[in-house]
Structure formats: structure tokens, C-alpha cells
Chain A
Amino acid sequence: MHIYEYLFTAIIIFFILVASSTMISSMPQPSLSVSEKEQLKVATQKILTQLILNTGDPPDWGSNTALDAPAAFGLAKHGETTRDAFVLDPDKVQRLSSANPLYVTPQTVANLLNLGNDYGFTIEFRQALTVELEQTGTADYNIQVTSDQNSLPIANVNVTAKAFYYANNQFACTGQASAVTSIDGRCSISFTDLPQQTQAQVLLVTVDYYGTRIVKTAVTGQIEQAALIGNHIVMNTQPNQVESTAHQVLVYKTATGYALTSVTSSFTQDSNMLSLDYAEPSAVATITFADGKAILAAKTVPQRYSTIPSATSVPFAYTVERSVTINGEAYTLQLRVWRMSW
């Protein structure tokens, strides 16, 4: 065998090795990235299913003020006999609000979902319709309803409103006012029986668009916001003189539309917590009076809940949206999940 044959064979082997290594490194890359994206999609779907269809453990962990965090995480509403799909427990959802005294941190949720440091996530709650309230006079309000997705005005929306107020330290409410939005998505509501001078005033507006319901509140006067967790009103500070009763504001559907009314409940006080004897299931807010100002306790739905609160967008994230119902209101839940390292 001549030397040139050895050289020629060596060159061929060298080229085979180079070509093979190039193909090995380049070939699986698209498949690898597809596989990783598919894994992210599957992980996101599983997390979403856990969030919106699982109650967590214990099932009433949202309203249990003795619990800082659940043993297993899930936001679905628990029912003793039946359970609706895509219906979330408002007490569990408001635990995701940083304003809530029993706030559950995203890191805790990530650990409960067994995500560890591998994945990051953002949960966004958007109301199905955007409702804006503008006070134009003492008893006059402009209401505008627009689409959540493209901000286009929505016509033929049924709007029902009622004002609850304190005047001379007495709780009272106006009559119920109704209107329908015109083609520009606007309507006006006026209360003829609202006093000129009130200590505190809570306007409650219910918007109904062919079954899609949104409830909005607007407050004026001396009002302190508090959290309504289960049947507990949790205030920021301990009040000295509290009214003997609380007023639960209810919104429920009737044959002709929506009814807004209030019922009176008694409670017991323990430090900065008022425990109602009974919490109405359809209550959207509870109002009481303490130290010369009104206390408005409502269940707040956070707009955004994220493991990286400052990040507005994350590259290579997978996003899933679902329509959910929270306290009878229609929301769009958007879950965005990403890998912390690729």
C-alpha cells in the first residue's frame, strides 16, 4: 500500500468525522427546541388545570384565616354537593392580592405547584368587559363599557346601579337606577333620592351583557378599605367604636334583570377582625361604620400575580387563556409560563 493511499484514506476518514459531528450537532437542534416547547406547553396546560379545576387542600383554604398557605394549591370553588367547572373561589383568588393581609407569595405557590426554580409564571385576571365610572355631579354618573380585547364600545349593555351611603351616622341607600348603553358604549345614571351631603358613599354598578356580568364600585367620602375573607372583615388597624351591625350588599339575578339590595348582619369583634355571624353567598361587599368613617370590605381580584412582578413580558413564554367566573363575574384568566433556563 502506497503512502498516498494512506493519506487519501485518512482524508476521507477525517471528512467523515467532520461531516458526522456537524450533522449530529445540527440535526437534533430543531427537534430539541420543538420538544422543549412542547414540554413547556404541556407543563402550562397542567398548571392551568390545577389552578382552575382543583380546589386545593384544604378545600376552604381561602376563607380559613388560620392558614397562611394551603397544603396543595388550587383556585376552584369547593361545593359540598356539586362543583361547577371554571368557577373560582373569590376568597382563594384574593389571597393572590398583595393588599390582602393573608397574601400567599408567588414563590410559595411555585413550590406548592412543584415548579421550584425551573419555571416562572404570571397569572393575569382581566374582567370580560372594561367598565369605567365617572362622577359628573353629586348624584350623576357616566358609565362607559368597552371591549376587553380591542377597547371598542359595546352597545345594549344593561346597567343597574344603586348608591349605599352614610348620612348622620345612619346607613341608607337610594332607589335602583337602570340604563342601557348606546352605540358609543356610554350611558348616564342619576339618583334623585341621594342627599347632597353624605359622610361616605359607595356606588355599586352591575353590568350585564347577555349573561356576562361585571360588578364595579366607586367610593367617595370618608371610607377605609378592608379585606373581606370568608365571613371575616379584616381591617388595617383596630377600630375603637364600631357600629353594632354590618350591611352585606347583595347582587342577584331576577326575571327582569339584576337586583341590588342589602341585608343587616351582626358580628363579633376580635382586635382588627370583625367576624360576621353569616356571610351571604351572593354578597359582593360589606359596609359598616367605625370611628366616624365607613368601612368597605370587598373581595378584590388582583390584576397580576407573578414570580417576576416587574417583568411585563418574558420571551419564549407559553400563554393560555380561559374564561372563568369569580363571584358571579366573568373574567379572563391568562396564564403565562416560561422556563427559567433553557
Chain B
Amino acid sequence: MPHKTHTYTHRGQSRILEAVIGAVIIFLVFTASYYLIQSSSSIPTQETADLNRLGYNVLHRIVESDTIEETLETQDSTSGAASLQMVVREALPQGIYFNLTVYNCTGNPQTPFAPNPVSVSNAPEAEMAKSKEVSSTSTTYTSKNGNIYLIILKTARAGQG
């Protein structure tokens, strides 16, 4: 009889051990799946896609409204850049940092990144670099005066740095 009692006790203890191990495994599975679901969030991808659409919309407005002709081609470089910055700032919603770079590649479209481009921005220094998601959109534009420009607009949401 004592032998039988001893066997029952061992069986009971092993069942308790099984239950505990089962609970731990279930807990680990749930925890792991929770973090896996969280990390596969598509927010950043969607965010960049939104900024891309916005960037192309603003580039379209800039080139369709003759803004390049009326700023960079009719004014000196300093006041032209200041006017261009104001126009881009007006075109973008609030809370968006931008950096617009205009390369004049007239006569040399094979190497569009000409030296001394016109660059305007509303972002504090290094703020764009600190942003988690920066969208870059570009277009090539031939002005009515025959100049060829490569225009690159980078946008980021403010407060992400």
C-alpha cells in the first residue's frame, strides 16, 4: 500500500508539472505573437506613401503655375529663393517640413546634379535627417525660356525627429 500511495503522488506531481509547463508555453506563445503583430505594423510605409502623393501634388502645382519662371528666372538668386520658399510653404499643409532643391541642368541633362543648386527649406537644421520617414519626390521641368531643371522635394512630418 505505501508503494501504491507513493506512485499516485508521483503521478499527481507530474500532472501539476505538465500544467505549469503548459501554462508557461501558452503565455510565451501569446507574448511572442503579440510582439510579432505589433512589429508588422504598416504605419511607416503608409506614411511615406501619403507624403509621396503630397510631394507630387505640390511639385505639379509649382511647375504648372510658372512659379519657377517667376521666381528663379526673373529675380536674383537670393530673392528668387526666398519667393520660392514662400510659395512652397503656402502649398504645403502645416506641420510638414520640406526641403526643395532645384538643379539647373540646362545643356547637360546627362549629369543633372549641377553644382550650386538652389535649395530652400522650412526645417530647422538637421531636423530632416532626424525624421523617421522622409519622402523624396522629383520631377524634370523645362521652363518657357528653355531651361531644364531637376526639382527634388523632400518632405517629412514635423515632430518626428
Evaluate contact between A86 and B60: CB separation under 8 angstroms. yes
Say if the beta carbon of B90 comes within 8 Å of chain A. Answer: yes
Q: Is the CB of B15 within 8 A of A19?
A: no
CA distance A150 to B46 in the complex (A): 28
Which chain A residues border B12 with CB–CB below 8 Å? 1-2, 5
Closest chain B residue, CB of each to CB of A2? B12
Tell me which of A16, A27, A320 contacts B26 (CB under 8 A).
A16
**B16 — nearest CB in chain A belongs to which residue?**
A8
The segment out of B66-74, B126-134, B153-161 that lies at the interface is B66-74
| B37 and A330 within 8 A (CB) | no
A interface, by DSSP: helix, strand, loop or mixed?
mixed
* A211 contacts B70, C-beta separation under 8 Å: yes
Which positions 114-164 of chain A face chain B at CB distance < 8 Å? 128-129, 147-150, 154, 156
Q: Which residues of A contact B16 (CB under 8 A)?
A: 5, 8-9, 12
Complex contact B15–A128 (CB within 8 A): no
Tell me if A252 counts as interface (CB < 8 A to partner B): no
A330 with B61: in contact, given A149-B94, A211-B87 (CB under 8 Å)?
A: yes
Residue A212 at the chain B interface, CB threshold 8 Å: yes
Nearest A residue (CB) for B87: A210
Complex-state Cα separation, A27 to B50, whole angstroms: 28
Q: Which residues of the partner chain A approach B8 to less than 8 Å between Cβ atoms?
A: 1-2
B108 at the interface (CB under 8 A from A): no
A23 and B37 form a contact (CB under 8 A): no
A196 and B91 CA atoms in complex are apart in Å by: 41
Question: Restricting to B41-64, which residues have a CB under 8 Å from any CB of A?
Answer: 41-43, 46, 50, 53-54, 57-58, 60-62, 64
Q: A5-B16, A27-B33 are in contact. Are A86 and B43 (CB under 8 A)?
A: no
B100-142 interface (Cβ within 8 A of A): none
How close is A253's CB to chain B, nearest CB, in angstroms? 8
Kindly state the separation between the CA atoms of A41 and B41 in the bound complex, as whole angstroms: 14
The 0/1 profile, CB within 8 Å of B marked 1, for residues 1-38 of chain A is 11001001100110110011001100110110010001
CB-CB under 8 A from A38, the residues of chain B are 42-43, 46
Instruction: List residues of chain B with CB within 8 A of the CB of A184.
Output: none
With beta carbons under 8 angstroms apart, the residue of A9, A28, A41, A325 that contacts B37 is: A28
Q: How far is the CB of B52 from chain A (nearest CB, A)?
A: 11
Q: How long is the Cα–Cα vector from A31 to B43 in the complex, in angstroms?
A: 11
**How many Å from the CB of B105 to the closest CB on chain A?**
22
Given A156-B83, A211-B70: A13 in contact with B19 (beta carbons within 8 A): yes
Q: Which residues of B contact A85 (CB under 8 A)?
A: 60
For residue A321, CB closer than 8 A to chain B, the reply is yes
22 A-B contact pairs sorted by A residue (CB < 8 Å): A5-B15, A9-B19, A12-B16, A12-B20, A15-B23, A16-B19, A16-B22, A27-B30, A27-B34, A31-B37, A31-B38, A34-B41, A38-B42, A38-B46, A41-B50, A45-B50, A129-B90, A147-B90, A149-B94, A150-B94, A323-B57, A323-B61
Task: Pick the 8 closest A-B CB pairs, nearest first.
Answer: A211-B65, A5-B12, A211-B67, A12-B19, A323-B61, A210-B70, A211-B66, A23-B30
